[in-house]
Amino acid sequence: MTSRTATLMAILLLLAAVPPVAAYFAEPFYLDLLRRVMIFAIAAISLNLILGYGGMVSFGHAAYLGIGAYAVGVLSHHGIDNGWLQWGVAIGASALVAAAIGSISVRTSGIYFIMITLAFTQMLYYLGVSIAEYGGDDGMRLKVRSQFSGLIDLNDPTAFYYLVFAILVLSLFLTRRIVDSRFGLVLRATRSNEARTRAIGLSPYPFRLTAFILSGALCGLAGALLANQTAFLTPEFMNWTRSGELMFMVILGGIATTAGPLLGAAGLLLLEDTLQGWSVLPKWVQEHWQLYLGVILVLVVLYARRGLAGLLPGDKHE
Amino acid sequence: MDFTLVVEQTLNGLQLGVMLFLLAAGLTLVFGIMNLVNLAHGSLYMVGAYLATWFYQLTGSFALALVLGLAGTLLVGVVVELVALRTLYERDHLDQVLATFGLILFFNELIAILWGRAAIYSTLPEFLSGHVQLAGNLRYPLYRLLIIGVGLAVALLLWFVVSKTRLGMLIRAGASNRAMVAALGVDIRLLYTIVFGFGAALAGLAGLLAGPIFAVQPGMGEMILIQVFVVIVIGGIGSIRGAFLGALIVGMVDTLGRAFLKPALSAVISPAAGDAAGPALASMLIYLLMAAVLAFRPEGLFPVRGGS
Amino acid sequence: MSEVLLETRQIRKSFGALVATDGVDFDVREGETHAVIGPNGAGKTTFIKQLSGELRPDAGQIRFAGEDITALAVHKRTRQGLARSFQITSIYRDFSALDNVALAVQAHAGHSFRFWRPAREDRNLTDPALKCLQQVSLQDRAGVLAANLSHGEQRQLEIAMALATQPRLLLLDEPVAGMGTDESQRMVELLSALKGEKTIILVEHDMDAVFALADRISVLVYGRIVATGTPAEIRANQEVRAAYLGEDG
């Protein structure tokens, strides 16, 4: 086991220990916060696959968060509360939309790719806003959380916490396997040197598109979790600022590292939470926390490019 | 369908089109010449709108407010370029996206601190608030006609600058071949600052023109910025001509779609279908248009250079 | 005389008013090492890019192993057995030397849509990759990050990657460019060992390397081939001396 893997294991163990500790101190708030962190970590892990390893700067990843959430919300709205079905549709619909958006955007690169992924997500955002049946601008409340035939009850905060935890661990493991596989080797190669990849006989397009779809599907699952977390969904899930936050999580944590997205999600959400709600800070900081977040963001990009994972003990190269 | 309504909506589409053009012209040059993804361009639009509104309230003179607002936005733009963006030219797109995303958060919040989160409204001076009798029963607001006029005039001016002057020659060369411009011995940093300031001023102009007809509020820049991206993708990065035509196309399609798609669907299929699908489809129209253009022309309608 | 493996017929490419390739007829026979030389600006790069598929000729035809490949994309040409090295070293700098070659092995072998088993532990990839590294005497550097190899080693690595795709034809674009005397000596030895085993097109400025390796030489001047022949014939050719060798003194 490398020291990096050991560090990641330690972090996961800490996360696993949260529910009993929070219960002991009667602080259920932290359970909720860390569950949120883990859900966003799953979304960031999915983005890291294409952004970090595939070099595709997708500025529209919130789309799949929204699709996953709406899959749960819309089915629930029509009286279908079966979680297997809801989450299956969340993953499937996200994969389909990713295939459609990807087939057009993956052919382009650079600034075009960024703008196109952003624009398509904006399109879905407006679609959400304009459908009055599903609450339009205001969104809608999830009356019942996803039902898993009595197997697990998402209304139980601890049970829900451990389900999210399990999916997080699985996502980490899965992406690690993919990145190290033959497919992952090609994916990283297309980022590293596209001309060389063509010259050894591989067209980057099918590999990039496949990664784009896998990434969308996983993010769709995160969206289904998020809808259950908030018991509420709005088009804001797909807001472009959400896409920007996901990207920032990946960078803040350390791009193209296994633990990075988890660290980044924790870093950003805890930072936001602290700026907004830490009573030690003066009121004018709490009220205008976005101002400081903006400045911190610029500084991190300019001066701390290796992210939080770079601070961890461990070998320099993965 | 009512003929008057069609003409009116066409004029509205034209007005949105020239507005998008004012924003797209500067941004497409920044993309093309500096290869910089600047998300904060919409913030300059917002700054322009706020400054003009504020100066108008302070001075009571609309003309003075326009001049001060424009100068103020230009100043803010140049400062942003010197302080933050300069260090980003050599960075990859990801860094540029995130850093300028940070700038957006900063500006939106700064505006909220200075003027509050609620929308502020500016009124038009007496001499601009009337309507013009265009034909029969068609009356159109004078101010909107003014916007169209200003937009077309700027387009003409830009065309002249880009195709007839030495600065324009450098800009065109810069959009297709940066190394060559550097080899000509031009101070590339100065050229960048000029182009960026130029773009900022145009964004500010769009903002201050928008002030009296749109809600002036934090975040107003991003709504329109993403439409501007669609314009640039359709037109082709770095092309002023592409930005102009792309802006008019997007302005028209969006406006006419919102006005006529619902009644058209209602008439052709059923009122229920029109109600259900009309608004949704109308709001997606320009993005579908972009997808269609990209499917056939991945580099946009007027590509400036191959690849990126 | 052995069979023709690659040939171009009247290929032509222009950029605006500049005609970079002006009706070139060129052929490479199975097993030979055929060098392409020419002064700067003669259109060598444009010509090579048309052979590899990065550029498409405006007119004319390129045939490889009897098939028309004029319109074939780069990666498909490689699949058919046409591998290349680049004028400016092109490797995966953030991969180890072994991973660089293993990827090329994988590209040739197919089965790249496998998502589960770690590629680094796949002997089907690493064994052939190590063999290719051996061929360019880099076996001791297998685990080193490519970015940390010396310039000469990086060029050797590029040859190993080309070999890993089991090509019928190697297209080498200035393989000794930018090398010191020792390094280029080593590269020439390495290529001599490949000579005869593989068909090679060698584009090179270094005349010592060209005359040491080539079976035949074609001289490209202003987008046209002015002469083709054995090294001795080229040395003796008046037109070549006037147009090209004369310049070098």
Q: What number is the average pLDDT over the span C45-67?
A: 92
> Domain containing B182 — which CATH number?
1.10.3470
- Of C108, C135, C166, which residue is a domain's last? C166
Pair (C176, C145) in one structural domain: no
pLDDT at C249 exceeding the cut of 50: no
| Residue C63 lies inside a defined structural domain of this protein | yes
> What integer pLDDT is reported at residue B172 of this predicted model?
73
- Listed range (A234-238, A308-312, B54-58, C60-64) with the worst mean pLDDT: A308-312
Nearest chain A residue to B296 by CA: give it: A104
- Of C136, C166, C196, which residue is a domain's last? C166
> What integer pLDDT is reported at residue A313 of this predicted model?
63
Pair (C175, C161) in one structural domain: no
> Domain containing C67 — which CATH number?
3.40.50.300
| Residue C98 lies inside a defined structural domain of this protein | yes
pLDDT band at B175 (very low <50, low <70, confident <90, very high): low
Q: What is the residue type of A190?
A: T
C contacts of A207 (beta carbons < 8 Å):
112
A102-144 pLDDT, tens digit per residue, is 999 998 888 889 989 998 999 999 999 988 889 888 989 998 9
Distance CA B32, CA B43 (A): 20
B94-126 pLDDT, tens digit per residue, is 899 999 999 999 999 999 999 888 888 877 777
Q: Please tell me the total count of domains within chain A.
A: 1
CB contact under 8 A, B108 and A290: yes
Q: Could you give the ipTM of this predicted complex?
A: 0.89
> What integer pLDDT is reported at residue C143 of this predicted model?
92
- SS3 of B80-110: the string is HHHHCHHHHCCCCHHHHHHHHHHHHHHHHHH
| Residue A316 lies inside a defined structural domain of this protein | no
Highest-confidence range of A305-314, B168-177, C111-120, C166-175, by mean pLDDT?
A: C166-175
| Residue C134 lies inside a defined structural domain of this protein | yes
> What integer pLDDT is reported at residue B171 of this predicted model?
75
Q: Does A127 touch chain B (CB under 8 A)?
A: yes
Q: From the candidates A200, A202, A207, which should be mutated to test the interface with C, based on the most C CB atoms within 10 A?
A: A200
Pair (C1, C68) in one structural domain: yes
| Residue C86 lies inside a defined structural domain of this protein | no
Pair (C216, C202) in one structural domain: yes
> Domain containing A81 — which CATH number?
1.10.3470
| Residue B306 lies inside a defined structural domain of this protein | no
B contacts of A107 (beta carbons < 8 Å):
294, 298
- Containing structural domain, residue B52: 3-296
Pair (C61, C128) in one structural domain: no
| Residue B301 lies inside a defined structural domain of this protein | no
Pair (C107, C146) in one structural domain: yes
Q: Does A99 touch chain B (CB under 8 A)?
A: no
Which of B35, B98, B109 comes nearest A290 by C-beta?
Answer: B109
Distance CA B150, CA B153 (A): 5
Q: Does B168 touch chain A (CB under 8 A)?
A: no
- Calculate what percentage of chain B has a pLDDT beyond 90: 25
pLDDT at A316 exceeding the cut of 50: no
pLDDT at A3 exceeding the cut of 80: no
Q: Please tell me the total count of domains within chain B.
A: 1
Q: Does A205 touch chain B (CB under 8 A)?
A: no
pLDDT at B273 exceeding the cut of 80: no
> What integer pLDDT is reported at residue A68 of this predicted model?
97
Chain A with chain C: Cβ pairs closer than 8 A: 100
A contacts of C86 (beta carbons < 8 Å):
195-196, 199
DSSP chain B: --HHHHHHHHHHHHHHHHHHHHHHHHHHHHHHHH----TTHHHHHHHHHHHHHHHHHHH--HHHHHHHHHHHHHHHHHHHHHHTGGGGTTS-HHHHHHHHHHHHHHHHHHHHHHH-SS-B--PPPGGGS-EEEEETTEEEEHHHHHHHHHHHHHHHHHHHHHHHSHHHHHHHHHHH-HHHHHHTT--HHHHHHHHHHHHHHHHHHHHHHHTTTS-B-TTHHHHHHHHHHHHHHHH-TT-HHHHHHHHHHHHHHHHHHHHHHHHHHHHHT-HHHHHHHHHHHHHHHHHHHHHHHHHH-TT-SS--SS--
A164-213 pLDDT, tens digit per residue, is 999 999 999 999 999 999 999 999 999 999 999 999 999 999 999 999 99
CB contact under 8 A, A291 and B106: yes
CA nearest B28: which of B230, B251, B294, B253? B230
Distance CA A75, CA A89 (A): 9
Distance CA C62, CA C60 (A): 7
CB contact under 8 A, A57 and B105: no
> What integer pLDDT is reported at residue A130 of this predicted model?
87
Q: Please tell me the total count of domains within chain C.
A: 2
Q: Does B102 touch chain A (CB under 8 A)?
A: yes
Distance CA B298, CA B305 (A): 12
| Residue A102 lies inside a defined structural domain of this protein | yes
Neighbours, chain B (3 or more CB pairs < 8 A): A
B188-229 pLDDT, tens digit per residue, is 778 888 888 888 999 999 988 888 888 888 888 888 898 999
| Residue B307 lies inside a defined structural domain of this protein | no
CB contact under 8 A, B97 and A114: yes
Q: Does B295 touch chain A (CB under 8 A)?
A: yes
Q: What number is the average pLDDT over the span C46-54?
A: 92
A contacts of C106 (beta carbons < 8 Å):
182, 185-186
pLDDT at C203 exceeding the cut of 70: yes
Highest-confidence range of A182-196, B188-202, C27-41, C230-244, by mean pLDDT?
A: A182-196
A contacts of C64 (beta carbons < 8 Å):
none
Nearest chain A residue to C53 by CA: give it: A199
pLDDT band at B305 (very low <50, low <70, confident <90, very high): low
| Residue B308 lies inside a defined structural domain of this protein | no
Nearest chain C residue to A207 by CA: give it: C113
| Residue A205 lies inside a defined structural domain of this protein | yes
Indicate the helix (H) or strand (E) that contains C60.
strand C59-64
- Containing structural domain, residue C145: 93-166
Q: Does B84 touch chain A (CB under 8 A)?
A: yes
Q: Does B3 touch chain A (CB under 8 A)?
A: no
| Residue C88 lies inside a defined structural domain of this protein | no
CB contact under 8 A, A189 and C116: no
| Residue B286 lies inside a defined structural domain of this protein | yes
pLDDT band at B1 (very low <50, low <70, confident <90, very high): low
pLDDT at C46 exceeding the cut of 70: yes
CB contact under 8 A, C118 and A195: no
> What integer pLDDT is reported at residue C245 of this predicted model?
56
Instruction: Determine B/A contact with 3+ CB pairs under 8 A as the test.
Output: yes
| Residue C102 lies inside a defined structural domain of this protein | yes
For tokens 């000794």, the residue is: C176
| Residue C87 lies inside a defined structural domain of this protein | no
> What integer pLDDT is reported at residue A315 of this predicted model?
46
- Containing structural domain, residue A171: 3-311
> What integer pLDDT is reported at residue A318 of this predicted model?
41
- Of C145, C166, C187, which residue is a domain's last? C166
Neighbours, chain A (3 or more CB pairs < 8 A): B, C
